[in-house]
Amino acid sequence: MSLLTVGTVAFDAIETPFGKTDRIIGGAATYIALASSYFSKPINMVSVIGDDFPEDALDTLRQHGANTNGIQVRPGEKSFFWSGRYHNDMNTRDTLATELNVLADFDPKVPEAYRDCEFLMLGNLTPAVQMAVIDQIPNRPKLVVLDTMNFWMDTALDELKTVIAKTDVLTINDEEARQLSGEYSLVKAAQSILKMGPRHLVIKKGEHGALLFNEQSVFFAPALPLEVVFDPTGAGDSFAGGFIGYLASTRDISFENMKRAIIFGSAMASFCVEKFGTERLIGLTQDEIDDRVQDFIDLVQFDISLVNN
């Protein structure tokens, strides 16, 4: 059940209505690795950092079952840095700074030992980098999951569509699904996007939950209503990590099992937003995760018997 993830390992500085942080550890691959670690180990990571990235942060990843020797370290260079400020609704944010640094010319190298991967998670990155990773995997993985964002739709749509055509599951948010398809209705958007190649589409709606589509079916998972959303940074990546981690642990990529994976992914996202950065994803217990998944079951389960159906 080998799981490979590519994505950023980086610094973030975050302001929310509840407070602000100096630079803290972030990056898509960091959140994906931590969230998936509760389901499937090891997680082989491919990324790039500068020599400013703290060794103890890499230790934390390794303690959660990550192989970090696919993370290139560039001497004398700086790690990717993002800074943002969330608005009061916590659904919208302003980017205050983006310093690409080592990411500017990232040329991913998938170590020989990672190349037999069965589950491939392509975290949000330049589509060309995502494609370069796919091209280094000699045998097609059992499942390729792609996360991306509107920025690549604006700036690299053709390359993005080439990557999308190579993936099994695409995860984007509702506005991105509308932008990519040109359809306002999410049902029509999904039909259009599934024609681009992926057999499954996950539409993330933040506090409004997530939808899973294939050609025949649709499944809806709510987000847990939380008293406090402290910091949404990394929620989508935590979702993706829980999703692919659960699938990798069960090696079952049926629609029924993807439903479960969506719930586990939603549970990991619900933990993520409770504290700044990755803090809440470190050292979770199985009981905490089980209790959280039970909250999701309790939230949506109802019992209606239709006489004739």
Using rule CB under 8 A, residue 291 touches its own copies = yes
Site string for its own copies, 30-69 (x = CB under 8 A): ----------------------------------------
Residue 26, beta-bridge partner list:
10
Token pair recorded at residue 46 = 């491919």
Which part of the chain contacts its own copies (CB under 8 A), choosing from 97-105, 114-122, 134-142, 181-189? Answer: 181-189
Burial 2-31 (b: 16+ CB within 10 A, else e): bbbbbbbbbbbbbbbeeeebebbbbbbbbb
Q: Can the peptide bond before residue 42 be classed as cis, meaning omega within 30 degrees of 0?
A: yes
Q: How far apart are CA 154 and CA 61, in angstroms?
A: 33
Q: How far apart are CA 182 and CA 39, in angstroms?
A: 36
Contact pick of 96, 100, 104, 187 for its own copies (by CB under 8 A): 187
Cα-based distances in Å from 125 to 38, 46, 100, 134, 146: 24, 12, 11, 13, 10
Between strands 66-67 and 43-50, the pairing is parallel
Using rule CB under 8 A, residue 155 touches its own copies = no
Which part of the chain contacts its own copies (CB under 8 A), choosing from 18-26, 37-45, 152-160, 223-231? Answer: 223-231
> How far out from the chain centre does Cα 220 lie?
18
Using rule CB under 8 A, residue 85 touches its own copies = no
Using rule CB under 8 A, residue 194 touches its own copies = no
Which part of the chain contacts its own copies (CB under 8 A), choosing from 48-56, 60-68, 215-223, 274-282? Answer: 215-223
Contact pick of 199, 219, 274, 288 for its own copies (by CB under 8 A): 219
By C-beta, is 61 or 229 nearer to its own copies?
229
Residues forming the site for its own copies (CB under 8 A): 88-89, 184-188, 205, 208-209, 211, 217-222, 225-229, 256, 259-260, 262-263, 287, 290-291, 293-294, 297-300, 302-304, 306-309
